[in-house]
Amino acid sequence: MVKLLTLTVTVTLAVWTQVFVETKFRTFLDISKSMSAPRFLVLGSAVLSIIAGGLYTTSGQVMKDSMDISASIQRVEESLGRDCVGPNALTEKCPNGGGVGEQFESLAPAPMAAKYDRPKVYADDCLASEGENFADRPICRYGEGDLKVALVGNSHAVQWFPAVESMAERHGWSLDTYLISRCAVNGTRQMFENEGKTEGCADYEPWVLDQLSAQGYDLIIASSRQSLPPEGYSSETGMDASRRAFSATLDSWTRTGAEVVVIADTPFPGATLDNVPDCAADNIEQLSKCSGSIKDWLPSDPLADAAKSSADDRVKLVDMNDYLCSEETCYGIIGGMIAFWDHSHLSNTYAHALSPMLEQKLQSKLSNPDLFVSD
């Protein structure tokens, strides 16, 4: 019965369009003095070209606007006010939680741009790479000041580069980077896919110590995610072994004469999301879906634990997660800013916005006042 009804409707529509559309249109072309079939073809093609060109121009402008991060930040500031933009949203400056909500008029960066909003040290090839078993160990220098600062760690130290570089520019530091992909810089043999990577990672820590000792830094800033356990341990049982290894590493760094600051590891949205930019694009009117509980998102952090338990007063721990989380929830979008460029790392935009807050915490912890003299 259903098939018969469908067939009847289909045939009826076909007859109707043939009589009232196709036949009438052909008759119009036959009797029209000005509109022949060739002319209609040319005119139709021209109209379609104009429409296509307009769509191409419009879509190109939309793409360009989406990738303009500075403009997107300005739009967010105009919408929310500076006191509620980015990390300010989680401070007392922003009234009534105005910077954390289900939706915003604009996002900075736009989700399309956020996936590429990474620190420039990636483009500058400043990371020791897994592909070469960490044999190539670049040191990148930014600035030529008298005060010497080193940034050390894996990709979770990389994410702090925009904030630290901003301080280096403000205060005339010479900033060197010792950065490596995935490997936790603590000298342990970590469970990589092959022996070459495992050995290369283990060898990186003593090499870094040699460089730090030779250069005589005023300040060493370190951060790390422990993504792989030491050999002989699982992810759950290996954290204490990693903490002990980091404790020994921190002790060796202070013996170079530097003050050492550890920045606590940041939330890991990958515990519940594929990545934050795609989540924002898919849930533009319900951005709470791009948040997670502290229990799910805050990772174990053996480097921070080692710093916290250090008896050396030259080792300090700084925790910036109050600008990423409230009492129970960590956020992927904060004050109109997409805080992570993927499932794990701070966006360049959000890290840069955190620079004044990080500087304030460093000033309260460190003993060398010369570090924060304006250049």
- Tell me, yes or no, whether 97 and 49 share the same domain: no
Q: Which residue has the higher pLDDT, 94 or 63?
A: 94
- Tell me, yes or no, whether 165 and 289 share the same domain: yes
Q: Which residue has the higher pLDDT, 160 or 57?
A: 160
- Tell me, yes or no, whether 306 and 347 share the same domain: yes
Least confident of 34-38, 109-113, 240-244, 297-301: 34-38
Residue 268 in any domain: the answer is yes
Task: With a cut of 90, say whether residue 36 has pLDDT above it.
Answer: no
Residue 372 in any domain: the answer is no
**CATH classification at residue 119:** 3.40.50.1110
pLDDT digit string (tens) for 40-83? 455 556 545 555 455 444 434 344 455 799 999 999 999 999 99
Residue 374 in any domain: the answer is no
- Tell me, yes or no, whether 39 and 102 share the same domain: no
Mean pLDDT score, 81-109: 92
Mean pLDDT score, 124-138: 97
Q: Is 263 exposed, middle or buried (0-12, 13-18, 19+ CB in 10 A)?
A: buried
Q: What is the pLDDT of residue 18?
A: 54
Residue 80 in any domain: the answer is no
Q: Which helix (H) or strand (E) holds 30?
A: helix 24-31
Q: Is the peptide bond before 109 cis (omega within 30 degrees of 0)?
A: yes
Q: What is the pLDDT of residue 25?
A: 45
Task: With a cut of 80, say whether residue 7 has pLDDT above it.
Answer: no
Task: With a cut of 50, say whether residue 9 has pLDDT above it.
Answer: no
Instruction: Say how far apart CA 101 and CA 39 lie, in whole Å.
Output: 56
| Average pLDDT over the chain, rounded to an integer | 88
Q: Decide which of 16, 46, 72 is a domain's last residue.
A: 72
Structural domain of residue 15, as residue ranges? 2-72
Q: Decide which of 17, 49, 72 is a domain's last residue.
A: 72
Q: What is the pLDDT of residue 297?
A: 99
Instruction: Say how far apart CA 221 and CA 303 lie, in whole Å.
Output: 12
**Looking at the 3D structure of the chain, how many domains does it have?**
2
Residue 227 in any domain: the answer is yes
Q: What percent of the chain has pLDDT over 70?
A: 82
Residue 79 in any domain: the answer is no
- Tell me, yes or no, whether 322 and 353 share the same domain: yes
- Tell me, yes or no, whether 108 and 209 share the same domain: yes
What's the residue count for the chain? 375
- Tell me, yes or no, whether 171 and 58 share the same domain: no
Q: Which helix (H) or strand (E) holds 318?
A: strand 315-318
Q: Decide which of 48, 72, 96 is a domain's last residue.
A: 72
pLDDT digit string (tens) for 263-309? 999 999 999 999 999 999 999 999 999 999 999 999 999 999 999 99
Q: What is the pLDDT of residue 55?
A: 46
Task: With a cut of 80, say whether residue 319 has pLDDT above it.
Answer: yes
Q: What is the pLDDT of residue 96?
A: 78
Backbone angles phi, psi at 47, to 5 degrees: -60, -45
Mean pLDDT score, 230-234: 94
pLDDT digit string (tens) for 196-226? 999 999 999 999 999 999 999 999 999 999 9
Task: With a cut of 70, say whether residue 164 has pLDDT above it.
Answer: yes
Q: What is the pLDDT of residue 345?
A: 99
- Tell me, yes or no, whether 40 and 174 share the same domain: no
Position 138 confidence tier, pLDDT thresholds 50, 70, 90: very high
Mean pLDDT score, 242-267: 98
Residue 373 in any domain: the answer is no
- Tell me, yes or no, whether 216 and 332 share the same domain: yes
- Tell me, yes or no, whether 282 and 360 share the same domain: yes
Position 95 confidence tier, pLDDT thresholds 50, 70, 90: confident
Q: What is the pLDDT of residue 286?
A: 98
Q: What percent of the chain has pLDDT over 90?
A: 79
Q: What is the pLDDT of residue 34?
A: 53
- Tell me, yes or no, whether 108 and 241 share the same domain: yes
- Tell me, yes or no, whether 19 and 149 share the same domain: no
